[in-house]
Amino acid sequence: MEKLEFKFPSQALLAAAPPALCGVVGSGNLEILVRSGVDRQICEISVNTSARGFGETWRAVLATFAASQAVGGTSIAINDMGATPAVVSLRLAQALADYRGGAQ
């Protein structure tokens, strides 16, 4: 297992909301927990992944997410069981939508 921690600058998400969970820690899958964070301009992401040695791939996938979406002020925790970047990106989009939905 590898533990990764990232902080990305991101446009502030307008409203804080109750935590949202998306996905399951199953083979080739992951779960993503989105909570409100501390700094309104920063998206904090921590990852526990079963696959070692893909830190740079994670950084690239998550940086793209944080740059393309307003997720400043969130703290995101991920438990991963070997999901591909395609699955990670899809789950991030779903988790963010669930979190935003909770804010309405």
Considering only CA atoms, which of 45, 41, 34, 39 is closest in space to residue 11?
41
First to last CA, the chain: 36
Query: Which of 40, 50, 69, 70 forms a contact with other proteins (CB under 8 A)?
Result: 50
Q: Are strands 74-81 and 42-49 parallel, antiparallel or unpaired?
A: parallel
Binding mask 58-97 for other proteins (x = CB under 8 A): --xx--x------------x-xxxx-xxxx-xx--xx--x
Name which of residues 14 to 43 contact other proteins (CB under 8 A).
19, 21, 24-29, 31, 33, 35
| Complex with other proteins: residue 11 or 64, whichever CB lies closer | 64
Neighbours of 24 (CB within 10 A): 12
Please state the closest distance from residue 93 (CB atom) to other proteins, in A.
5
